[in-house]
């Protein structure tokens, strides 16, 4: 499937209909083998597509996303459907009365919603290993993880079945699967994009963000979802993150970072281990608090791995949460002062490539560690700062994908998009189509 900008231009010009695009995407979703889709929205999709085509026929502009097919992580409210958050506990919940605010904005811009997409239950994990719906497979190598918790959203875009998808990112749940699936994935400045109608995980860190296959598409979605323009820019003050961010990274990532900015200063974020520990604590506490009543009523209905982590969060004392939040407030002030001298900080997005599903462990400090918990070792500390971070894919045709993080100051997402566009233009970053998707196009 073509990109967001190209599809919308073709629909507005009348060279292809939104309905034809929706029907083609429905066929691709039906045939998906990556365990990425939880529900296909046939009737809704065709109705939205027909509405776009009617506007085109009447000579009216359907919007900047005219006819673009997309899907959402299964924690966004969609009118008339239960919001499951990846759990069978909510499979028969009362249907949502209205679309999530982000979905409503996309619809108003002409986009067509086709599917809900797989995730770790209640977004608690970095792997999209779901006890009820299955483990999402990486389109670049189906024996490997797609990452999580927004793995279904990443996999379906990387496979070429949809032009973009929405995910959520609490501690790296967009950036991790973006890195492992070779996509662009955004964690915005905390609170910059609408969270209304999104099933929460940990409110201190929750954000939504898109997955795309180009920097241009990401910038357009930012404009639609956030209502902000992306002005052009050419000169950037760059720094490289050192310390823990270089201790656990692939040689390809470090080589790319050093080639992008060989003369940029190497800086270390202070107390990085404490920041990540505090992020773990806040996440566990807020997640446990959110699900306390459901755990008391039906603990055995939860995914066992998620249940145990939530129960541990329930047991945390209020005073520890308050202490962690006080540290976070102080830490954010320090980090914002540190990054004020730079436009872009460069760091790895994940510590390694997608691990195998059969043995979902990764090397951290020379020892094997569960991927479900530690694929976010580089994203979680950035979440703690509330700064925006854009995962971008190194251009590696024919190889397993891996990405970098472009990190900016508060509200400085446009700097990240402009810098990504520059790196894309010189061939440093870019989407590489999985072999199976390329073969399907050639058939």
Mean pLDDT (10-residue bins), the chain, 443 residues? 97 98 98 98 98 98 98 98 97 97 98 98 97 97 98 98 98 98 98 98 98 98 93 91 96 98 96 95 98 97 95 97 98 94 97 98 96 95 97 97 98 96 98 80 53
**Which CATH number do you get for residue 140?**
3.90.1300.10
Catalytic residue among 17, 150, 168, 173: 173
| pTM listed for this prediction | 0.97
Choose the catalytic residue: 149, 153, 389, 432.
Answer: 149
Catalytic residue (one of 73, 161, 204, 214):
73
pLDDT of 438 reads 66
Is the Cβ–Cβ distance between 200 and 289 less than 8 Å?
no
Report the 3 state secondary structure along 147-175.
CCCCHHHHHHHHCCCCCEEEEEECCCCCH
Residue 251 annotated in active site:
no
Is 432 labeled as catalytic in the residue annotation?
no
The residue range of the domain holding 193 is 4-442
| Tally of domains within the chain | 1
Specify the pLDDT at position 442.
53
Tell me whether residue 2 is one of the annotated catalytic residues.
no
């Amino acid at each position: 499937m073509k990109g967001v900008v190209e599809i919308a231009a073709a629909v507005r010009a009348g060279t292809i209909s939104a309905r034809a695009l929706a029907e083609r995407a429905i066929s691709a979703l039906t045939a998906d083998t990556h365990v990425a889709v939880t529900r296909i929205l046939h009737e809704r999709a065709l109705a939205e597509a027909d509405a776009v085509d009617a506007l085109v026929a009447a000579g009216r502009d359907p919007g900047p996303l005219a006819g673009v097919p997309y899907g959402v992580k299964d924690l966004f409210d969609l009118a008339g459907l239960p919001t499951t958050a990846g759990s069978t506990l909510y499979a028969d919940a009362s249907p949502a009365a209205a679309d999530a605010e982000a979905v409503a904005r996309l619809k108003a811009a002409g986009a067509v919603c086709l599917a809900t997409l797989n995730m770790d239950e209640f977004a608690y994990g970095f792997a999209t290993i779901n006890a009820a719906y299955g483990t999402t497979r990486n389109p670049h190598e189906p024996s490997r993880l797609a990452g999580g918790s927004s793995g279904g959203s990443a996999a379906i875009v990387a496979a070429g079945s949809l032009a973009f998808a929405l995910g959520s990112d609490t501690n790296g749940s967009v950036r991790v699967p973006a890195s492992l699936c070779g996509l662009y994935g955004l964690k915005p400045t905390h609170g910059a994009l609408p969270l209304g109608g999104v099933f929460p995980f940990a409110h201190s860190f929750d954000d939504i963000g898109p997955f795309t296959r180009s920097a241009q598409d990401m910038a357009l979605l930012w404009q639609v979802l956030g209502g902000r323009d992306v002005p052009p820019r050419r000169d950037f003050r760059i720094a490289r993150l050192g310390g823990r961010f270089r201790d656990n990274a692939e040689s390809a990532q470090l080589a790319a970072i050093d080639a992008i900015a060989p003369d940029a200063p190497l800086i270390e974020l202070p107390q990085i281990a404490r920041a990540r520990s505090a992020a773990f604590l806040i996440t566990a506490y807020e997640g446990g608090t959110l699900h306390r009543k459901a755990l008391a009523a039906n603990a055995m209905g939860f995914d066992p791995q998620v249940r145990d982590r939530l129960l541990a969060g329930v047991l945390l004392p209020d005073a520890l949460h308050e202490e962690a939040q006080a540290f976070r407030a102080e830490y954010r002030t320090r980090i914002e002062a540190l990054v004020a001298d730079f436009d872009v900080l460069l760091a790895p997005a994940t510590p390694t490539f997608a691990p195998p599903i059969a043995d979902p462990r990764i090397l951290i400090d020379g020892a094997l560690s569960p991927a479900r918990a530690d694929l976010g070792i580089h994203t979680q500390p950035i979440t703690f700062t509330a700064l925006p971070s854009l995962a971008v894919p190194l251009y590696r045709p024919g190889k397993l994908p891996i990405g970098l993080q472009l990190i900016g100051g508060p509200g400085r997402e446009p700097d990240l998009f402009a810098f990504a566009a520059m790196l894309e233009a010189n061939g440093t970053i870019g989407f590489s189509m999985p072999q199976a998707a390329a073969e399907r196009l050639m058939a």
